[in-house]
Chains A and B, each alone.
Chain A
Amino acid sequence: MNVTQTDNEVSRLRWQCRRGMLELDALLGDFVEQHYMQLDEHEKEVFKEVLSFPDQLLFDYFFGNGKSIDKDVNNVIERIRYAVTPEA
């Protein structure tokens, strides 16, 4: 993948991280800017799948009791949370 394709991909994802809830904007938006490129190819695919989930489901995964049955999804969710959470 050349540089332009990568830029386009990140731009597209950046817009898909614009959500209906501030909390998700902050998690997904900041993650895609700063950490997405460090994911391996499989994780990138899972991240894109995560972006297709409804906002309320994502909110439950991040802040409620919800958990996906797919462990790859849970890993990416935890990775996003870990990346965005500041050190105490």
Chain B
Amino acid sequence: MNIAKRKFDVLVIGAGGGGLRSSLQLSQAEAKVAVVSKVFPTRSHTVAAQGGMNAALANVSPDNWHWHMFDTVKGSDYLGDQDAIEYMCRAASHLVYELEHQGVPFSRLENGKIYQRPFGGQSQNFGGEQAARTCAAADRTGHAILHSLYQQNIRAKTHFFDEFFAIDLIRADDGMILGALVLEIETGEPLIIEAKTTLLATGGVGQLFRTNTNARINTGDGLGMALRAGIPLEDMEFFQFHPTGIAGRGMLITEGARGEGGFLVNKDGERFMERYAPHAKDLASRDVVSRAISTEVREGRGCGENSDHVMLKLDHLGKEVLAKRLPGISSMVKTFLGIDPAEQSIPVFPTAHYTMGGIPTNKVGQVVVPVEQGEESVQGLYAVGECACVSVHGANRLGGNSLLDIVVFGRAAGNHIIDFLKDNRYHRPLEEQGLDMAMERLARWDKKGQGETVANIKYELQSIMEEYCGVFRTQDVLDKGLEKVLEIEQRMADVRLQDHSKTFNTARIEALELENLVDLAIATVASAAKRHESRGAHSRIDYPDRDDARWLKHSLYYKKENHIEYKPVRLKAMTVDTFPPKERVY
């Protein structure tokens, strides 16, 4: 085999906020770091995080990290690991200041302190009055963080492999990860990157669902790589949906639209939220509104030719209010639907937003797998950000905690790797057979002939996931869904590419992404079908209650035989008392 090789101390796969925060820590410590990114780094999905980053700075309302910790534990529906949550909330303030020093222009109060806005799920004094905890750089916090981190990395001489796609991890016989095989998209040439440690920071997998808010790059490549390396995925059944995405397109229509007086109607023009939430109506929590929309559609009260959505009415608010209060929405709806929300209602449906599950890690970012009574780390492998499950979000993520997650654990993993490198100064020799799986994966797409297309299979897969593993879940629906995604897995063998060129063969990249999506669809439905309770984002019509006696545990899905096992939630915090599970009422 004659494949080019490069050697680095650390290989970071993914150039969003998590990957870049880690690589910065490492490059500043003078480690030799390679960052592989399938798109130009500042086009990573972190750029879409507009809301902000939570930290108990107490600039606007009284606050402390312990209250933030309580809110996060409660928000997670008690599935979050409390040691990791304490670690994150304690680190938050320091990391906001650090980002500011790195160039993030946080918005200011008149007294010069960092501005903080109130977000859902934030409280003072353990469930009391609303707190204002989210630090924001106007409506472009993710963008500001990503660009600052990228520039700092350039300064620290991080080596970037832009537009390289990671195929698979290179795994030694004893399980140690020795780097990855990657593909240069421009030339179609494979490249071996050897590294003493590899860090996955590839983001979430919103593209599993037909209607989603995620960039098209969010195909869960790191999660797919972990599964194929024999590593289980944790809590994949927990996927956060936002109730109002543009139907069939996915773009988010913010809660602000309902906050300003917008409401939802079914095909009969009925304001149906009055039936599901008589008090809060259209402003009920996200999961309640999502389920209500899904139920209306399932029971035949959906709108449009295919009765597959409901309508969000804003036209009664008048042109002026819309132009003043919701200008972005008007412009987006006009662009993608060709209608003016001041005159016509907007077709909406729940849209997949955030992957709570992922690669199991501990609070320093090491990937961990179960052994006998406990767990051990996978040597040479780390994961951070949305692709990881540390687990700080548990069954439901709070707004403002995802940007925090990526910088806290990105930095923690960077620090831990620095220590690891001190004790591991040399590269392990690469075993050629460790590359076999990756090379086979690549060669598979050279098969010629007639067959099914990537685009068709992807569309079917996303539609199946939306119908059978969306917000409306019962045993029957999930079992059917699992059957259908397993059928898709079989059909993948018949998929053929028509384009076999080398240069910028994006069809091949899309095929490799689809393989990841299929594996992750199975992981998600299989995990959901097994969890017989409702908790956070996983809502079962047939098991409507949370069941702590049986289900206060994390699921772990293995690709081999679709096996699922469980591990306990880490209820013990680092230094403070455990927050025991309680009913989650807001």
List chain A positions with a Cβ less than 8 A from chain B. Answer: 7-8, 11-12, 14-16, 18-27, 29, 54-56, 62-65, 81, 84-88
Interface residues as binary, B163-178 with A (CB distance below 8 Å gives 1, 0 otherwise): 1000000000000000
**Are A85 and B43 in contact, CB atoms less than 8 angstroms apart?**
no
Taking a contact as CB atoms under 8 Å apart, the answer to whether A55 and B334 are in contact is: no
Contact with A along B63-79 (1 / 0, CB 8 A): 00000000000000000
The answer to whether the Cβ of B504 comes within 8 Å of any Cβ in the partner chain is yes
Q: In the complex, are the beta carbons of A15 and B185 less than 8 A apart?
A: yes
B216 A18 Cβ-Cβ under 8 A: yes
Which residues from A are CB-within-8-Å of B143? 54-56
Q: Report how far A54 CA is from B44 CA in the complex, Å.
A: 11
Cα A12 to Cα B501 in complex, Å, equals: 13
B250 interface residue (CB < 8 Å to A): yes
- Identify which of A12, A16, A22, A85 contacts B216 (C-beta below 8 A): A22
| B47 interface residue per 8 A CB criterion | yes
Q: Identify which of B112-120, B336-344, B459-467, B549-557 touches chain A.
A: B336-344
Which residue of chain B has its CB nearest to the CB of A62? B335
Known: A25-B216, A81-B335. A8 touches B504 (CB 8 A): yes
- B217, A18: Cβ atoms under 8 Å? yes
Across the interface, name the chain B residue whose C-beta is closest to A4. B501
**In the complex, residue of chain A having the shortest beta-carbon distance to the beta carbon of B214:** A22
Q: Which residues of B contact A24 (CB under 8 A)?
A: 215
The digit string for B329-370, where 1 denotes a CB below 8 A from any CB of A, is 001101111110000100000000000000000000000000
Interface CB pairs A-B, < 8 A, 27: A8-B503, A15-B163, A15-B185, A15-B504, A15-B509, A19-B43, A20-B39, A20-B42, A20-B43, A20-B48, A20-B215, A21-B47, A22-B213, A22-B214, A23-B336, A25-B216, A26-B249, A29-B216, A54-B42, A54-B147, A55-B47, A55-B48, A63-B328, A64-B327, A84-B336, A86-B337, A88-B339
Q: How far apart are the CA atoms of A14 and B39 in the complex, in Å?
A: 11
Q: Nearest 10 CB-CB pairs, A to B?
A: A20-B47, A11-B504, A56-B143, A88-B338, A86-B338, A25-B216, A21-B48, A63-B331, A55-B47, A20-B43
In the complex with contacts A15-B504, A56-B143, A85-B215 CB distance below 8 A: no
Known: A20-B43, A21-B48, A54-B143. A11 touches B338 (CB 8 A): no
Q: Is B130 an interface residue (CB 8 A)?
A: no
Q: Which B351-407 residues have a C-beta within 8 angstroms of A?
A: none
A18-B39, A26-B251, A64-B328 known, 17 other contacts, Cβ within 8 Å = A7-B501, A11-B505, A16-B40, A18-B217, A19-B43, A20-B45, A20-B146, A22-B214, A23-B336, A54-B143, A63-B331, A63-B332, A63-B335, A64-B327, A86-B337, A86-B338, A87-B338
Query: Which secondary structure dominates where chain A touches chain B?
Result: helix
Which of A22, A63, A81 is packed against the most chain B CB atoms within 10 Å? A22
In whole angstroms, what is the CA distance A65 to B216 when docked?
Answer: 25
A11: which B residues are within 8 A, CB to CB? 503-506
A22 and B39 contacting across the interface, CB-CB below 8 Å: no
Bound Cα distance from A25 to B147, whole angstroms: 19
B206: min CB distance to chain A, Å: 8
Whole-angstrom distance between the Cβ of A5 and the nearest chain B Cβ: 10
User: CB distance A22 to B338 under 8 Å?
Assistant: no
* B489-543 at interface with A (beta carbon < 8 Å): 501, 503-506, 509
A31 to chain B, nearest CB (A): 12
Interfacial chain A residues near B215, Cβ < 8 Å: 18-22, 24-25
B43 touches A56 (CB 8 A): no
- Interface pair A15/B336, CB less than 8 Å apart: no
Task: Establish whether residues B335 and A84, one from each chain, have CB atoms under 8 Å apart when the complex forms.
Answer: yes
Min CB distance A29 to B, Å, is 7
B212 contacts which chain A residues (CB < 8 A)?
22
Shortest CB distance B308–A (Å): 17
**Interface pair B332/A23, CB less than 8 Å apart:** yes
Closest to B343 in A: A88
Complex Cα distance A88/B345, Å?
Answer: 12
Chain B residue at smallest Cβ distance from A23: B251
| Min distance, Cβ B182 to any Cβ of chain A, angstroms | 15
CB distance from B14 to the nearest CB of A (A): 12
Residue among B44, B186, B338, B504 with the highest chain A CB neighbour number at 10 A? B504
Q: How far is the CA of A21 from the CA of B217 in the complex (A)?
A: 9
Residues in A neighbouring B504, C-beta threshold 8 A:
8, 11-12, 14-15
CA distance A85 to B214 in the complex (A): 20
Q: Complex Cα distance A29/B506, Å?
A: 12
Complex contact B506–A14 (CB within 8 A): yes
B90 interfacial contact with A, CB 8 Å: no
Chain B nearest Cβ from A55, distance in angstroms: 5
CA distance A88 to B63 in the complex (A): 49
- CB closest residue in chain B, given A80: B335
Q: Mark B412-434, 1 if CB is under 8 A from A, else 0.
A: 00000000000000000000000
Q: Determine whether the beta carbon of A56 is less than 8 Å from that of B140.
A: yes
How many angstroms from the CA of A25 to the CA of B143 in the assembled complex? 16
Which chain A residues border B335 with CB–CB below 8 Å?
Answer: 27, 62-63, 81, 84-85
Please name all residues of chain B whose beta carbon is closer than 8 Å to the beta carbon of A16 when the two chains form the complex: 40
In contact, B43 and A55 (Cβ under 8 angstroms)? yes
- The complex places the Cα of A14 from the Cα of B47 at a distance, in Å, of 19
Task: Please give me the residue from chain A that is nearest to B213 by CB atom.
Answer: A22
- Bound-complex Cα distance A7 to B44 (A): 25
How far, in Å, is A38 (CB) from chain B's closest CB? 19
CA–CA, A6 and B83, complex, Å: 55
Q: Which residue of A lies closest to B252 (CB)?
A: A22
User: Residues of B contacting A7 with CB < 8 Å?
Assistant: 501
Query: In the docked arrangement, what's the CA distance between A62 and B330, Å?
Result: 12
Name the residue on B nearest A81 (C-beta): B335
Closest to B340 in A: A88
